[in-house]
Structure 1
């Protein structure tokens, strides 16, 4: 199955989130993974042809990733 450009971007963002989780302290790593998984699961029902919504969520996800990637952020709840 071929993926669209937006689908590839979503998968790329998810992989980036998981990579960033590995940089966090062991005690908080699972919290970051769970948070990322929950955020993606929450939006699974969005129609893939709703480009505006998908692009909005990609921008939001990238901003969150940038914020949580900061070395000062040690845990998430």
Structure 2
């Protein structure tokens, strides 16, 4: 298995946190999982050596996850 860079590990960690958060939401509101996947796939073409873009997307993802993790949010689109 190839070794992952620090940023790659951070991206995978964020993805796993997103999937875990989906499990905390009610079952009928879980199309959020496909929303997370879509968001990650949309940015899949970002060059892994474009550190500023990857770091920006990581910060954006963490902010969105924090917002979606609040108890008042039930439906994530």
Same-fold call, TM cutoff 0.5: yes
- Give the equivalent residue in structure 1 for 2:13: 12
TM-score (norm 2): 0.96
**Does 2:5 correspond to 1:24?**
no
**Deviating 4+ runs (over 2 angstroms):** none
Count of aligned pairs? 76
Unpaired runs of 5+ in structure 2? none
Over aligned residues, Cα RMSD in angstroms? 0.6
How far 1:32 moved relative to its partner? Answer: 1.1
**Does 2:43 correspond to 1:46?**
no
